[in-house]
């Protein structure tokens, strides 16, 4: 049955300001419908189309028969070579069909025993139309390894472990979290030692930390195999291979399954925005042509990233990418994806030199890359149809309208977008403004400036802010004294006291006001010092900054534990009250002189005093709901490095008084005699609190 056309009214129901762009949105939806109908008619629907990995690459039948298929239309001849046939370029020729797909079937050596041994090296050898011979790693390969002592180029491996070595999943996927609290992590740096960490170590040592901190979702970076460790995983060479730097595919499965057993959702940082330009161990020039998986010429190259750009308008490229998504969900039990570089994908200019002022012409004009946008629509639509609980997050700095609206309503279909302007704001404040120059109004505007109904992931800092050349928030705040005054045995200096106080306040403010989800990069919860810098020539291949120093937060004599404990309390308080999945906050106060921010969300009252020196006694703030309030979280607790001027508990009674614009209509019985004129009136409420300098408190009704 053909896909239903888009009703323009559905677009305007989301955003009436899109009135002048309805035709563009309907047109891109028509392109999406055409592709979806083609997939239904030719391929039998999403389910079959996205299982391309069962047809292409190397697949094993129960009796041990191996079938290998590869799309390489420019090749004139193709041969499967490897250790199994002593790299013989004649013995195992492949046949080509009308679509340019090569195939070979290898019968078993004996029942159940493959002709190709498990974990042995293989390649495809091809002769081009020119007569030149090239050899490549199979495009759909599931395992590649690197022996840097011999060559930086990867070797393809036939991954077919014996049944007893295949990991068997034990735990069901957890339900999609109502409030998503993401721990962004990189397996390789998740050790304190000067080396690359492993999947097994992450499972044993890091998963318990994440659970105890109160994060319910992990976003794993640099899992898809990449050529250069220092690229942070963003130069992908083999899209179906889990990085061998950290261990085996079975060990990654164990990591994900163990996380599920803890109730933790696991997302993959997926890189479909571009590909490594490597030829010998990548997709570039795979069959000798410039245009197999990518656009040819300038359109197929990213100037700044020095990488190749996919041709999202090609049937086989869509099969490859959409099957890649399905593969990670199906084979490894990932629960969803953070799509890297979505801004680069959606615009022909890739966001280079684009200011994105917010004008709708920037999103729906000639700059929009409709082929890439339609791919994202197909990817989101397919994965949500096949796995309804799938979570997809877009890394988009442009603010594209309808990005997080279902495809059926004219959107691109993501569940969340990353609020990328928020960390930039904090860096600018810490870098260029003194504390008394911070503008409360601008801070609140940046945190609340998001499209209503489209969910956002807020974060104060991610891996981007930790990379060499930048600084983490803790380092911006305290780098002058982090090496000398982070011990409880030393003086609690003004620099350290300010740094710890603001670190806590910034993170809670972002957590509670900035979005419908929250993200933290591993180690930043305890104010990890210094920066991230992977081993490379420029640093003599040092691991000094390519690791996480867990010893700092585990040492009871060091002050890092205060920030760690506050992060834990912040997450567990959210788990109890659920502000992330509540309606956006009502901000009742942004006072520039007092440096105060006050707002309500999920029935809680949040009070932030950013004033560098002024504390306030009996500070009156407006509140909607009358009653008795109590403090459920205070950054001033001793266990958080505070001074215990405000502790949890206490009783704060509201008074009937309009304050900070907070008022609600309360139905009240008439006065004696049943005076109908007094049947209903506006009643407002206020509460008085003590808020010390650089302190935040959260109050809830008793």
Burial status of residue 313 (CB atoms within 10 A of its CB: 0-12, 13-18, 19 or more): middle
Structure tokens at 202: 């992450």
CA atoms within 13 A on the CB side of 135: 15
Tokens of 4: 């239903």
Collapsed DSSP state (helix, strand, coil) of residue 663: coil
Burial group, residue 89, by CB count within 10 angstroms (0-12, 13-18, 19+): middle
Q: How far apart are CA 315 and CA 415, in angstroms?
A: 25
- How far is the C-alpha of 605 from the C-alpha of 596, rounded, in Å? 13
Question: What is the token pair recorded at 269?
Answer: 């940082």
Please identify which residue in the block is written with the tokens 């440096």: 595
Separation between Cα atoms, residue 629 and residue 491, nearest integer Å: 36
Cα-based distances in Å from 410 to 39, 160, 379, 453? 20, 43, 15, 14
Residue with tokens 């014996």: 162
**395 has catalytic annotation:** yes
526 HSE (CA, 13 A, CB side): 23
Q: Which residues pair with 434 in a beta bridge?
A: none
DSSP 108: -
With contact defined as beta carbons under 8 Å apart, do 451 and 418 qualify? no
First-to-final CA distance of the chain: 55
For tokens 């963003």, what's the residue? 234
DSSP helix, strand, coil percent of the chain (3-state; round to 5): 30, 25, 45
> Using a CB cutoff of 8 Å and minimum separation of 24, what contacts does 381-387 make?
381/32, 381/36, 381/46, 381/407, 381/413, 382/46, 382/49, 382/50, 382/322, 382/325, 382/326, 383/325, 383/326, 383/329, 383/336, 383/337, 384/413, 385/46, 386/46, 386/47, 386/50, 386/326, 386/329, 387/329
> Virtual CA dihedral for 441, 445, 447, 450, nearest 10 degrees?
170
Choosing from 251, 269, 395, 600, the catalytic residue is 395
Residues whose CB is less than 8 angstroms from the CB of residue 49 and which lie 6 or more positions away in sequence, other chains included: 39, 43, 319, 322, 323, 382
Of the residues 251, 340, 567, 637, only one is catalytic, namely: 340
Of 81, 83, 101, the C-alpha closest to 91 is 81
Any idea what the Cα angle at residue 174 is, between residues 513 and 215, rounded to 5°? 40
- CA of 643: how far to CAs of 512, 566, 567, 613, 634, in Å? 23, 14, 18, 14, 11
Residue 552 — φ and ψ, nearest 5°? -70, -40
Per DSSP bridges, beta strands 416-418 and 391-394 are: parallel
The helix (run of H) or strand (run of E) holding residue 549 is: none
Residue 340 annotated as catalytic: yes
For residue 385, give Cα distances in angstroms to 48, 381, 388, 390: 13, 6, 6, 9
The set of catalytic residues is 340, 395
């Amino acid at each position: 049955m053909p896909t239903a056309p888009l009703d323009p009214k559905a677009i305007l129901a989301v955003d009436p300001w899109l009135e002048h762009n309805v035709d563009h949105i309907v047109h891109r939806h028509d392109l999406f419908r055409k592709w979806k109908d083609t997939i239904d008619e030719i391929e039998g629907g999403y389910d079959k189309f996205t299982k391309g990995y069962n047809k292409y690459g190397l697949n094993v039948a129960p009796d041990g028969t191996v079938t290998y298929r590869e799309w390489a239309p420019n090749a004139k001849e193709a041969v499967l070579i490897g250790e199994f046939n002593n790299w013989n370029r004649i013995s195992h020729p492949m046949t080509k069909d009308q679509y340019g797909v090569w195939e070979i079937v290898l019968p078993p050596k004996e029942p159940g025993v493959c002709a190709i041994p498990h974990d042995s090296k293989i390649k495809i050898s091809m002769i081009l139309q020119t007569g030149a011979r090239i050899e490549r790693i199979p495009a759909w390969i599931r395992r590649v390894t690197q022996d840097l002592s011999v060559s930086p180029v990867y070797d393809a491996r036939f991954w077919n472990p014996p049944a007893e070595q295949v990991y068997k999943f034990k735990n069901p996927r957890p339900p999609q979290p109502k409030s998503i609290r993401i721990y962004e992590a990189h397996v390789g740096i998740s050790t304190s030692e000067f080396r690359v960490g492993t999947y097994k170590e992450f499972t044993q040592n890091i998963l318990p930390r994440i659970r105890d901190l109160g994060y319910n979702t992990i976003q794993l970076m640099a899992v898809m195999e990449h050529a250069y460790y220092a690229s942070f995983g963003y130069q992908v060479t083999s899209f179906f291979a889990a990085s061998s730097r950290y261990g085996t595919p079975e060990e990654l499965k164990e990591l994900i399954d163990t996380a599920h057993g803890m109730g933790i959702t696991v997302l993959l940082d997926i890189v479909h925005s571009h590909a490594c330009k490597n030829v010998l161990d990548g997709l570039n020039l795979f069959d000798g042509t410039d245009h197999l998986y990518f656009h040819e010429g300038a359109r197929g190259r990213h100037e700044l990233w020095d990488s190749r750009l996919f041709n999202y308008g090609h049937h086989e490229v869509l099969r490859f990418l959409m099957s890649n998504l399905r593969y990670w969900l199906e084979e490894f039990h990932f629960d969803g994806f953070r799509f890297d570089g979505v801004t680069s994908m959606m615009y022909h200019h890739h966001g280079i030199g684009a200011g994105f002022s917010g004008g709708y012409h920037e999103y729906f004009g000639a700059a929009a890359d409709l082929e890439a946008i339609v791919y994202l629509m197909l990817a989101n639509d397919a994965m949500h149809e096949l796995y309804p609980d799938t979570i997809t997050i877009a890394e988009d700095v442009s603010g594209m309208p309808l990005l997080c609206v279902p495809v059926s309503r004219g959107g691109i279909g993501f569940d969340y977008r990353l609020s990328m302007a928020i960390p930039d704001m904090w860096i600018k404040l810490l870098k260029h403004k003194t504390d008394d120059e911070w503008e409360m109004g601008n801070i609140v505007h940046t945190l609340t400036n998001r499209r209503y109904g489209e969910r956002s992931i807020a974060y104060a800092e991610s891996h981007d802010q930790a990379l060499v050349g930048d600084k983490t928030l803790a380092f911006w705040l305290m780098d002058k004294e982090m090496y000398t005054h982070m011990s409880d045995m030393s003086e609690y200096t003004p620099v350290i006291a300010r740094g710890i106080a603001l670190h806590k306040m910034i993170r809670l403010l972002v957590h509670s006001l900035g979005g419908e989800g929250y993200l933290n990069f591993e180690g930043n919860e305890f104010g990890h010092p210094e920066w991230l810098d992977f081993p490379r020539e420029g640093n003599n291949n040092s691991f000094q900054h390519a690791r996480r120093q867990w010893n700092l937060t585990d040492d009871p004599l060091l002050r890092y534990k205060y920030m760690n404990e506050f992060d834990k309390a912040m997450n567990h308080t959210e788990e109890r009250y659920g502000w992330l999945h509540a309606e956006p906050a009502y901000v009742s106060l942004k006072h520039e002189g007092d440096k105060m921010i006050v707002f309500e969300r999920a029935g809680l009252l949040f009070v932030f005093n950013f004033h560098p020196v002024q504390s306030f006694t009996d500070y009156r703030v407006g509140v909607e709901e009358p009653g008795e309030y109590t403090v459920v979280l205070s950054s001033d607790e001793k266990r958080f490095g505070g001074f215990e001027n405000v502790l949890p508990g206490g009783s704060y009674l509201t008074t009937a008084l309009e304050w900070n614009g907070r008022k609600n209509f309360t139905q009240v019985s008439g006065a004696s005699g049943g005076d109908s004129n007094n049947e209903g009136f506006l009643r407002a409420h206020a509460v008085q609190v003590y808020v010390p300098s650089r302190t935040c408190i959260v109050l809830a009704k008793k």
